[in-house]
């Protein structure tokens, strides 16, 4: 049992009929992670969602030459082990494929629902109460976007339309940031300088050793009371104990999370019961346009692979022989 091109994950079994035509001309099969061992021996190209790829798996895939991540994040892929075995690895750029655009829209949704106190509006509907609650306008407020990669740029392009003042934070300044029309730029190392002036804070930062738990006790000490925090990046950017302490102390007016420390989130988790916390199940890039955009990008890259052409968004060179 096997296939030259293998899509791995239960989600692909539901998704594949929708995108099957994109892969016309390619020998494609779909399996769950539990079924993967049956397919590995004859697989040349593997398309995966969030899935651990380590030496143990690679050793069971003697014909594997190319791994394509469905999306951006490759934290679970051992890139060094892949390169040593001549396996090329690519991901999908967030911007221009619908992924970053969808995440940017979701960040706006979180901001609006929290600022307009969505939970309370639903209570008031049931109570037949009009003209309440009073919300917080995005207009004239200051939003600090931390991380100016593809997602951060998409967030900024959208909040500008709401008439917000925008502070962009990044590890370094790049000339492309000029087109964002920022009201202010701040280096990541100076982040705490702008936090007191931020009504909304959006995390769009890459997760690595330096940024893990960057949102800690000192971060919350610096923010002003009544701040809204939105995380559409990675849960581990935020130190959970510090977040809970900030909530208990009333420092934050609301929190929007599209990422969680344990996914899927436990329905009994107390954070989900807090009316100041809005959690969505990691759906930022899950839109009709993103599905089409990502599928087309991957199918084109696979054809490039078999045609001996240069691959797009290549992370490891693999075996050039």
Determine the Cα–Cα distance for residues 86 and 80; give it in Å rounded to an integer.
Answer: 10
CB 113, CB 91: distance < 8 Å = no
Residue 88: C-alpha distances to residues 6, 46, 68, 162, 306 (Å)? 15, 10, 8, 42, 12
CB 295 within 8 A of CB 19: yes
DSSP H or E segment with residue 159: helix 150-159
282 is catalytic: yes
Could you check whether the bond before residue 133 is cis, i.e. omega within 30 degrees of 0? Answer: yes
In the annotation, is 110 catalytic?
Answer: no
Phi first, then psi, for residue 203 (nearest 5°) are -90, 115
| Centroid of chain to Cα 114 | 20
Let me know if 263 is a catalytic residue: yes
How many whole angstroms separate alpha carbon 53 and alpha carbon 77? 5
Sequence-ordered list of residues with C-beta below 8 angstroms from that of 248, at least 6 positions apart, any chain? none
- Catalytic residue (one of 85, 110, 117, 234): 234
Catalytic residue among 20, 55, 84, 263: 263
- Name the pairing type of β-strands 277-279 and 184-187: unpaired
Active site residues: 234, 263, 282
């Amino acid at each position: 049992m096997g296939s030259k091109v293998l899509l791995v994950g239960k989600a692909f079994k539901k998704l594949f009929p929708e995108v099957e035509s994109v892969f016309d001309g390619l020998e494609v099969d779909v399996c769950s992670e539990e079924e993967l061992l049956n397919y590995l021996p004859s697989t040349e190209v593997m398309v995966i969602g969030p899935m651990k790829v380590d030496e143990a798996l690679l050793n069971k895939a003697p014909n594997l030459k190319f791994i394509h991540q469905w999306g951006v994040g490759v934290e679970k892929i051992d890139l060094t082990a892949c390169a040593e075995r001549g396996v090329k690895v690519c991901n999908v750029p967030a911007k221009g494929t619908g992924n970053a655009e969808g995440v940017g829209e979701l960040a706006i949704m979180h901001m609006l629902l929290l600022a307009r106190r969505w939970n309370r509006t639903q209570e008031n509907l049931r109570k037949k109460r009009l003209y309440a609650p009073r919300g917080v306008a995005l207009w004239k407020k200051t939003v600090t976007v931390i991380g100016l990669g593809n997602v951060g740029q998409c967030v900024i392009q959208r909040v500008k339309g709401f008439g917000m003042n925008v502070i962009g934070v990044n590890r370094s300044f790049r000339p492309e940031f000029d087109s964002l029309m920022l009201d202010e730029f701040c280096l990541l190392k100076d982040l705490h300088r702008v936090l007191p002036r931020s009504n909304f804070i959006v995390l769009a930062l890459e997760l690595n050793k330096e940024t893990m738990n960057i949102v800690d006790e000192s971060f919350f000490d610096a923010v002003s009371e009544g701040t809204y925090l939105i995380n559409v990046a990675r849960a581990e950017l935020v130190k959970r104990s510090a977040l809970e302490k900030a909530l208990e102390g009333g420092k934050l007016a609301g929190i929007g999370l599209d990422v969680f420390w344990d996914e899927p989130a436990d329905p009994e988790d107390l954070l989900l019961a807090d009316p100041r916390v809005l959690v969505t199940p990691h759906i930022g890039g899950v839109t009709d346009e993103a599905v089409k955009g990502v599928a087309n990008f991957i199918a084109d890259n696979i054809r490039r692979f078999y045609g001996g052409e240069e691959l797009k968004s290549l992370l490891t060179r693999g075996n050039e022989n």
